[in-house]
Amino acid sequence: MKKKVVIGMSGGVDSSVAAYLLKEQGYEVIGIMMKLSENNPDYEENEGGCCSISAANDARRVADVLDIPFYVMNFKDAFKTNVIDNFIDEYMEGRTPNPCIVCNKDIKFKEFLRKAEALGADYIATGHYAKIEKQEDRYVLKKADDNKKDQTYALYSLTQYQLSHTLMPCGDYSKPEIRNIAEKIGLEVFRKKDSQEICFIPDNDHGAYIKKYSGREIKSGSFVDKKGKVLGTHKGIVYYTIGQRKGLGIALGRPVFVTDINPLTNQVVLGGEEDIFKTELIAKELNFILFDKLKANLRVTAKIRYSAQPQLATLIPLENNRVKVVFDDKQRAITKGQSVVFYSENLVVGGGIIEEVL
């Protein structure tokens, strides 16, 4: 009897080819599009967006070519509560969240897995570029063969149970190989561009989005230097993030960068580029994959953002599921609310949310 796999299909080339590969491997494949967004004209029709009508049509056409069932499943309430509301709350608190990581944790590998199991599925699958393997008594998460497309940074929160019930066939291929497979089997999405990073903000203007949809007052406040001297007026802390230089709306005759955001005083602190380089941070809400709990100092490489290169660091365990991360070299713009992810060569050790920059 064939094992049943429910795959999340976005209408993009990665999830489309993943569905094909799984069918070729002998699985019974069911395609599901997760309806995440509210009916919002600002992104509902955004071509390439994960919840647009065009994306749903693309996914349905792929399912027809592959001859697999395809359904659209409603996750809007869970997505709003867990992802959008959290996104707004974090920016209002002067932090910079990563909604893709939150979505993976709370929606794609929690709610989606739960609904797939209710359909009798043995596994869920996605088009992520990462690899899941069983090593002795644990499942491990490994970097994809295509290092440029590797997405393990956004997947560190996966539990052993989730890893044991998830398939990621794209991890064994490069992006060009995936596109070539799509073209070879007649999928029109082979030429489709990759979707933008934040699916519900197609123009990437997070400040404008929060102002329009949060229902909260976004108050202007003061730009200050590290001594507290007022330098000018900002339009609201939700428009800024650590390390930002462009779009500040202030001219001081020298390059300045956002070095801190204080929600209590509604101030944005500006400084020179040297002020945004730090070596230590505290991370919370940890999840480890290679072991259950960090019991002693550990040497790793660590990434403080998706696009960063892993850097040598030492993990020092703290109480309350927290860890101190000490980098060998200074890192640019360590940002509260972002994730720090730990690696041992090509294996994901684990990760957490940056709570404090020291």
Say what the pLDDT of residue 46 is. 47
Query: Annotated binding residue at 127?
Result: yes
CA distance 22 to 328: 42
CA distance 196 to 24: 29
CATH of the domain at 251: 2.30.30.280
Active-site residue list: 103, 199
Token digits for 322?
């927290």
Quick one: which H or E segment has residue 23? helix 13-24
**Residue 233 backbone phi and psi in degrees, to 5:** -120, 130
CATH of the domain at 317: 2.40.30.10
Quick one: which H or E segment has residue 341? strand 339-344
Residue 348 forms beta bridges with which residues?
A: 343
- Domain coverage including residue 266: 219-271
Question: What does the pLDDT profile of the chain (358 residues) look like in tens digits?
Answer: 889 999 999 989 999 999 999 999 999 999 999 998 765 555 454 444 555 678 888 999 999 999 999 999 999 999 999 999 999 999 999 999 999 999 999 999 999 999 999 999 999 999 999 999 999 999 999 999 999 999 999 999 999 999 999 999 999 999 999 999 999 999 988 787 777 668 888 788 899 999 999 989 999 999 999 999 999 999 999 999 999 999 999 999 999 999 999 999 999 999 999 999 999 999 999 999 999 999 999 999 999 999 899 999 999 999 999 999 999 999 999 999 999 999 999 999 999 999 999 9
Say what the pLDDT of residue 198 is. 80
Query: Annotated binding residue at 34?
Result: yes
**Residue 202 backbone phi and psi in degrees, to 5:** -60, -25
Q: Is 190 a domain residue?
A: no
Say what the pLDDT of residue 51 is. 57
Query: Annotated binding residue at 8?
Result: yes
Please indicate, yes or no, whether the overall pTM of this predicted structure exceeds 0.85: yes
Same domain, 329 and 281: yes
Query: Annotated binding residue at 1?
Result: no
Say what the pLDDT of residue 39 is. 52
Same domain, 17 and 111: yes
Query: Annotated binding residue at 16?
Result: no
Say what the pLDDT of residue 266 is. 97
CATH of the domain at 137: 3.40.50.620
CA distance 170 to 178: 7
Query: Annotated binding residue at 344?
Result: no
C-alpha to C-alpha distances, 110 to 11, 115, 175, 243, nearest whole angstrom: 21, 9, 27, 33
Query: What are 183-229's pLDDT values in tens digits?
Result: 999 998 878 777 766 888 878 889 999 999 998 999 999 999 999 99
Say what the pLDDT of residue 48 is. 46
Q: How many structural domains does the chain have? A: 3
Query: What are 20-38's pLDDT values in tens digits?
Result: 999 999 999 999 999 987 6
Q: Is 198 a domain residue?
A: no
Q: Is 351 a domain residue?
A: yes
Query: Annotated binding residue at 42?
Result: no
Among candidates 32, 288, 298, which has minimal Cα distance to 158? 288
Same domain, 63 and 173: yes
Query: Annotated binding residue at 9?
Result: yes
Query: Annotated binding residue at 10?
Result: yes
Same domain, 39 and 158: yes
Say what the pLDDT of residue 192 is. 77
CA distance 170 to 340: 24
Same domain, 296 and 250: no
Contacts of 191 (CB under 8 A, 6+ apart): 179, 183
Same domain, 139 and 73: yes
Same domain, 155 and 257: no
Query: Annotated binding residue at 15?
Result: yes
Asked if 27 contacts 4 with a C-beta cutoff of 8 angstroms, the reply is yes
